[in-house]
Chain A
Amino acid sequence: MPQTRTLNINGESKAVDVPDDMPLLWVLRDVLAMTGTKFGCGIAQCGACTVHLEGKAVRSCVLPVSAVGERAVTTIEAVGNSPAGARVQKAWLELEVVQCGYCQSGQIMSASALLTRTPAPDDADIDAAMAGNICRCGTYVRIREAVKRAAADRAAS
């Protein structure tokens, strides 16, 4: 049954009154009107809904809100506040990765979690971290380049 709970999203407390089993994705999109996080498949197959839970990339479409607790959630709307997220967004624009853009929130969340964990990823690291994110426009070539650009950006700075 619905109950009031407080979520920690992008550093702000958000009180919501939703069922325990409601995936975080729908709380973000339909209750909090934070539509940057996307619905793609609902079964953790495409990665469009990726957010960070305590800095780790998770699929919000299968993450019940009751399992989130007080842990920090970061979404695409605020990922640019982290150094890795800002570098990823910058690299994405510099290399013009984006086409339709619908999957790119998820791609950017996966890439920034990767760079936080592995500052200088090789191709195998990129494959492992990004293979859960589908892009129908086929921007993969540029995603790979942009992850490397963002990593190099850190090395340079």
Chain B
Amino acid sequence: MHASKRISLSPSRREFIKSAAASGFLLAFYVPAHAVNEPEQAPDDTKGKFVPNAFIRIDKSGTTTLVMPQVEMGQGIYTGVAMILAEELDADPAKILLEHAPSNEKFYTNPLLGIQATGGSTSLRAFWMPLRTAGATARAMLVQAAAQQWHVEPASCTTSRGEVSHAASNRKLSYGALIDAAGRITPPKNVPLKDPAKFVLVGTPQKRFDTPNKVNGKVIYGIDAMVPGMQFATLAACPVFGGKVAHVDDAAAKALPGVRQVIVLDNLVAVVGDHMWAVKKGLEALKISWAEGEHAKLSSTDIWEDIRSASHKDGVIAKTQGDVEKGLSKGQRFEADYELPFLAHATMEPLNCMVWLKEDSCELWLGTQIIARVQQTTAALTGLPIDKVTVHNHLIGGGFGRRLEPDMALNAVRIAQHMKGVPVKVVWTREEDIQQDIYRPIYRNVISASLADGKVAAWKYKVCGASIIARWLPPGFQKGIDGDAVDSAVDMPYDIPDFQVQYLRVEPRAVPTGWWRGVGPNNNVFAIESFMDELARKAAKDPIAFRRDMLGKQPRLLAALDLVAAKSDWGKPLPSRVGRGVCVQPSFGSFIATVVEAEVDQHGEVLLRRVTTAVDVGTLVNPDSVEAQLQGGLVFGLTAALYGEITIKKGRVEQSNFNDYRMLRIDQMPKIDVHLIKSGEPPGGVGETGTTAGPPALRNAIFAATGIALKRLPIDRNLLAGSTRA
């Protein structure tokens, strides 16, 4: 399968570049952003086409346009969605075009999230059946149209690669030739879906639609969008959380060549000009006094003291079974606390948004995971009717949850309100991107457990942390319980007779918190799997054997665990200061077992040697993308475990760029072996499962190598320095 439509540089763009180079004057240039977008922005162009539903449009030539209800952030979902639709439709893969979905909650709401959003590893879980049904229904209408024309039974017709055939009479019609007749047919209900045994696309490794233009510089992300007469802007928000602008001396900035305007809003200052360099220098030349406000002295220590002292209180019971207090009083009782830090997202594409605000309309260009919310909040901010706000979505240069927020769009609209109708592209510096993030919250988990007969007999678990749901999707926060915060804790896989999970909402002072790849399970799987390793040691059992004995009701997870044990050489001797650690989790509807092998040197530095993972994600739509997501997700999680922490001092984020907010690089990469288990179950989530699996497996490898039971992330090298093998 390949995308037949590869848009090259448009003539207008070539001409512009040529003429601009000749004149040397480059202020106002014309590059229609959508003309170089790939895939193209969805136009409302359904005229003369067969439009059986919101996902499929077929024209007379047979060209089949598939509208993508979920955004492409690198996870491969455009290809996955297209494969599912094309499979049931029996489309001709050579005639497929993809379009970004426009903002339209009626058609493109994610059924698992309740809004038009991409996140939480829900895309295939949410859309697997709707897409199959959409494809099968469209196919049934085309078959019926052909059957009517031929006066034969629809059941006697077959379809393949964009054609309906009637073998008995040796007749064929292309889908393109049937669109008018098919368009007159009422969409049938309860159309039978294809037998998975007959899938020709789903389950086979397919080349991605979006990658060819990502290796030749042609892809257009939001940050690359351009429109006629645009100007560039960058901004500085108050570095102290909650602070405001007190005074700005902009004389030096305005004297710089290329600087056109300085815009002062209540909490931020933006410089507008001819290019990013002019406005970046302009920003540096500003003398800004900030009214720092009540958080001017806030530090990480204060925030940790808040959550630690709050964590002594009881939370709201999210799940209970048996009698946990009675269970804890029997056998040997153990307790532990685990903590996770604030994290930034650091998407490779820094936050940005271009806005063209006119008197009676507004257009935005950006890559967002929540297009409808961007449209709605822009309408509310500008007072424009919602249908006068158009959001052009783009392929996204990394989302990881950061683009589930509309703040980059709203700030850009507020700036555009001072632009008098001139379009402006607002690009955040990396420093601003790190220091004005909406952070993964800190968490503290308090656990008590008892052991009896070498198994966990009772388990009492309390999650303390912010509720993102309560802010982001208030109806999802009910009776004091945040379903995301306790995800993978209330449904932990182990068979434990007496069991209780509590949630205690503790909002950190000042620091805004939001979704981060792996969401709630990141925290819970880390705490659960860390403590399981410690309990295994207390029970004098091998960590895998200890887990196996409690996974009797989890056949899919058990199969993954057994496979990873075999593939990782579990149990084979290792050199001194090298250990293997395991993690199992049923999060995001996928079943994954992971072993990390790591070495801890005398300085406490941790070297990743090898990662092995076995995963049952249900039906593998595009196996190659599943493998890629596992590889990448593991790197994302391991990066956080090794280096990730945002700290606060004097009300400000201390980190600023990749020099002090470190990333795993290729020279520290271990070998990663992904073993995919075939399954006929519906697809589970794959985007986040590796992220969640990496940190506990690494932490447990360090435990095996050194005997040191780390209680928080990122790993503390001082604690590990000079340690000896347990």
Binding site for B on A (CB under 8 A): 1-2, 4, 13-19, 21-23, 26, 29-43, 45-46, 48, 75-77, 80, 89, 92-93, 96, 98-105, 108, 126-128, 130-144
Asked whether B17 is an interface residue with its Cβ less than 8 Å from the other chain, the reply is: yes
For the complex formed, measure the closest distance between the CB of A108 and the CB atoms of chain B, giving whole angstroms: 6
A residues in contact with B220, CB < 8 Å? 35
Asked whether B347 is an interface residue with its Cβ less than 8 Å from the other chain, the reply is: yes
Give Cα distance in the complex from A136 to B659, angstroms.
Answer: 15
7 shortest interchain CB distances as A-B pairs = A36-B217, A138-B635, A100-B74, A102-B397, A101-B214, A99-B74, A30-B275
- Contact A100–B398 (Cβ < 8 Å): yes
- Contact B218–A43 (Cβ < 8 Å): no
- Contact B349–A100 (Cβ < 8 Å): yes
Asked whether B211 is an interface residue with its Cβ less than 8 Å from the other chain, the reply is: yes
- Contact B348–A135 (Cβ < 8 Å): yes
Give Cα distance in the complex from A141 to B665, angstroms.
Answer: 11
- Contact A1–B257 (Cβ < 8 Å): yes
Which of B223, B636, B659 is the one whose CB lies under 8 Å from A43?
A: B659
A residues in contact with B142, CB < 8 Å? none
Q: Binary interface profile of B, 190-213, with partner A (CB < 8 Å = 1, else 0)?
A: 000000000000000001101110
Give Cα distance in the complex from A30 to B427, angstroms.
Answer: 12
- Contact B31–A26 (Cβ < 8 Å): no
- Contact B634–A136 (Cβ < 8 Å): no
Since A43-B658, A101-B214, A102-B348 are in contact, a sample of 20 more A-B pairs with Cβ atoms closer than 8 Å, ordered by chain A residue number, is A2-B258, A13-B21, A17-B26, A30-B232, A30-B277, A32-B20, A36-B216, A37-B217, A38-B397, A39-B223, A40-B430, A45-B658, A46-B348, A100-B74, A102-B221, A102-B397, A102-B398, A103-B348, A131-B665, A137-B74
- Contact A39–B659 (Cβ < 8 Å): no
A selection of 19 A-B contacts at a CB cut-off of 8 Å is: A19-B257, A22-B275, A29-B276, A30-B232, A31-B26, A32-B21, A33-B16, A33-B31, A40-B350, A48-B348, A93-B212, A96-B208, A98-B74, A100-B347, A100-B349, A135-B348, A136-B347, A137-B398, A138-B634
Binds A, one of B308-316, B317-325, B625-633: B625-633
For the complex formed, measure the closest distance between the CB of A147 and the CB atoms of chain B, giving whole angstroms: 10
- Contact B217–A100 (Cβ < 8 Å): no
Given contacts A26-B275, A33-B16, A102 and B665 within 8 Å (CB-CB): no
A residues in contact with B399, CB < 8 Å? 100
- Contact B631–A100 (Cβ < 8 Å): no
Give Cα distance in the complex from A18 to B396, angstroms.
Answer: 30
A residues in contact with B383, CB < 8 Å? none
Give Cα distance in the complex from A27 to B307, angstroms.
Answer: 48
Binding site for A on B (CB under 8 A): 13, 16-17, 20-22, 24-26, 29, 31, 73-76, 207-208, 210-212, 214-221, 223-224, 226, 232, 257-258, 274-278, 280, 346-350, 395-400, 427, 429-430, 624-625, 628, 631-636, 639, 657-659, 663-667, 669, 671-672
- Contact A41–B658 (Cβ < 8 Å): yes
A residues in contact with B665, CB < 8 Å? 131-134, 140
Given contacts A30-B275, A31-B275, A40-B348, A96 and B667 within 8 Å (CB-CB): no
Interface centre among A14, A48, A92, A100 (most CB of B within 10 A): A100
Give Cα distance in the complex from A96 to B76, angstroms.
Answer: 10
From B659, which residue of chain A is reached at the shortest CB distance? A45
- Contact A22–B16 (Cβ < 8 Å): no
For the complex formed, measure the closest distance between the CB of B411 and the CB atoms of chain A, giving whole angstroms: 18
- Contact A134–B211 (Cβ < 8 Å): no
Give Cα distance in the complex from A94 to B207, angstroms.
Answer: 8
- Contact A77–B667 (Cβ < 8 Å): no
B residues in contact with A142, CB < 8 Å? 628, 631
Give Cα distance in the complex from A81 to B635, angstroms.
Answer: 32
Give Cα distance in the complex from A131 to B216, angstroms.
Answer: 21
B residues in contact with A143, CB < 8 Å? 666
A residues in contact with B350, CB < 8 Å? 39-40
Give Cα distance in the complex from A105 to B397, angstroms.
Answer: 12
B residues in contact with A133, CB < 8 Å? 665-666
- Contact A80–B216 (Cβ < 8 Å): yes
A residues in contact with B274, CB < 8 Å? 30
For the complex formed, measure the closest distance between the CB of A101 and the CB atoms of chain B, giving whole angstroms: 3
From B622, which residue of chain A is reached at the shortest CB distance? A96
From A64, which residue of chain B is reached at the shortest CB distance? B277
Which of A33, A139, A141 is the one whose CB lies under 8 Å from B29?
A: A33
For the complex formed, measure the closest distance between the CB of A74 and the CB atoms of chain B, giving whole angstroms: 11
Give Cα distance in the complex from A100 to B349, angstroms.
Answer: 9
Given contacts A77-B216, A105-B217, A142-B631, A127 and B223 within 8 Å (CB-CB): no
Give Cα distance in the complex from A54 to B366, angstroms.
Answer: 34
Give Cα distance in the complex from A62 to B268, angstroms.
Answer: 26
Which of A92, A136, A140 is the one whose CB lies under 8 Å from B666?
A: A140
- Contact A136–B215 (Cβ < 8 Å): no
Given contacts A96-B211, A99-B628, A134-B663, A4 and B24 within 8 Å (CB-CB): yes
Given contacts A100-B397, A102-B398, A136-B346, A33 and B666 within 8 Å (CB-CB): no
- Contact A140–B669 (Cβ < 8 Å): yes
Interface centre among A101, A108, A140 (most CB of B within 10 A): A101
- Contact A93–B215 (Cβ < 8 Å): yes
Give Cα distance in the complex from A142 to B636, angstroms.
Answer: 15
From A3, which residue of chain B is reached at the shortest CB distance? B24
- Contact B217–A41 (Cβ < 8 Å): no
For the complex formed, measure the closest distance between the CB of A26 and the CB atoms of chain B, giving whole angstroms: 4
For the complex formed, measure the closest distance between the CB of B7 and the CB atoms of chain A, giving whole angstroms: 14
- Contact A15–B277 (Cβ < 8 Å): no
A residues in contact with B400, CB < 8 Å? 136
Given contacts A33-B13, A142-B628, A98 and B211 within 8 Å (CB-CB): yes
From B13, which residue of chain A is reached at the shortest CB distance? A33
For the complex formed, measure the closest distance between the CB of B277 and the CB atoms of chain A, giving whole angstroms: 4
- Contact B633–A138 (Cβ < 8 Å): yes
Which of A77, A99, A140 is the one whose CB lies under 8 Å from B76?
A: A99
Give Cα distance in the complex from A131 to B98, angstroms.
Answer: 34
Given contacts A77-B216, A89-B215, A41 and B657 within 8 Å (CB-CB): yes
Given contacts A36-B216, A144-B669, A41 and B17 within 8 Å (CB-CB): no
A residues in contact with B216, CB < 8 Å? 36, 76-77, 80, 89
- Contact B659–A33 (Cβ < 8 Å): no
Give Cα distance in the complex from A138 to B220, angstroms.
Answer: 21
B residues in contact with A132, CB < 8 Å? 665
Give Cα distance in the complex from A33 to B14, angstroms.
Answer: 10
- Contact B215–A104 (Cβ < 8 Å): yes
- Contact A141–B224 (Cβ < 8 Å): no
B residues in contact with A2, CB < 8 Å? 257-258
- Contact A101–B210 (Cβ < 8 Å): yes
Which of A16, A21, A80, A140 is the one whose CB lies under 8 Å from B21?
A: A16
A residues in contact with B31, CB < 8 Å? 33
Interface centre among B24, B220, B427, B624 (most CB of A within 10 A): B24
Interface centre among A23, A30, A128 (most CB of B within 10 A): A30
Give Cα distance in the complex from A42 to B348, angstroms.
Answer: 12
Given contacts A33-B31, A46-B658, A98 and B208 within 8 Å (CB-CB): yes
A residues in contact with B427, CB < 8 Å? 39
Given contacts A127-B667, A141-B631, A26 and B215 within 8 Å (CB-CB): no
Give Cα distance in the complex from A136 to B216, angstroms.
Answer: 19
For the complex formed, measure the closest distance between the CB of A130 and the CB atoms of chain B, giving whole angstroms: 5
- Contact A15–B348 (Cβ < 8 Å): no
- Contact B24–A17 (Cβ < 8 Å): yes
Given contacts A137-B632, A139-B632, A144 and B215 within 8 Å (CB-CB): no
- Contact B667–A42 (Cβ < 8 Å): no
For the complex formed, measure the closest distance between the CB of A16 and the CB atoms of chain B, giving whole angstroms: 7
